Structure 1
């Protein structure tokens, strides 16, 4: 895919790297769309398309799924959305800079399922590790590599 025709989609409701996406999108002039529910009002620069959807649990995911094309980039921490986007040929990057891959997504989904099952049975599971400056820098570096390809 021609990198000039790529779009960056951001699952923006709880995305901690909005500023980094905006920085690189502006620097490389990449069309960018932030998708969030109307419960999360965002203030974005004019060059960014902002899409506001209903607060339904999967509304952002459904919008992104229906819009992305092969070769587009999506920033999300949702493993289920990532697995669906990978099948469409989308490059999917977590806010911590992890590039989701077909070879490893099933393991992530299995772990998520087992954790949910444990919580439903009254058990406790560890949450995600705290977001760090190192995570932010790793994300920035990896998103820039993807954009440059």
Structure 2
């Protein structure tokens, strides 16, 4: 197994950040949660509350416009890669609620089918990791909704 984070092409993989106060490069669960959030938003978290700082000075600037190009990449730990690939196969399997169509979580019966067809070695462990990614994605959905 590789010693450091693995770079993968195609949207998820790269140099990225994570959850504030947590070194996601060393914490697999934090890396999974941050991956879910990154999947939704396409960039790392607002560093240090930049958006609220700009607003306090009366500046109407979206923090995304200030992000560097490497903020738009995300590093996935090797031990999380299998769970992330299965999660991405489930990307169309969200449950929605309310008139606004808010994503409330993955359809676990569909996730089960994807797990079976993916023939992973430890489906129970992968499912638990997918739930962590899902929690990060739901945080990202909420953040995106708050900005609209």
TM-score for the superposition, normalised by structure 2: 0.24
Q: Relative contact order (alpha carbons < 8 A, sep ≥ 6): 1 or 2 greater? A: 2
Bigger helix fraction: 2
Larger strand proportion of the pair: 1
Q: TM-score, normalised by structure 1?
A: 0.24
Larger radius of gyration between Structure 1 and Structure 2 = 2
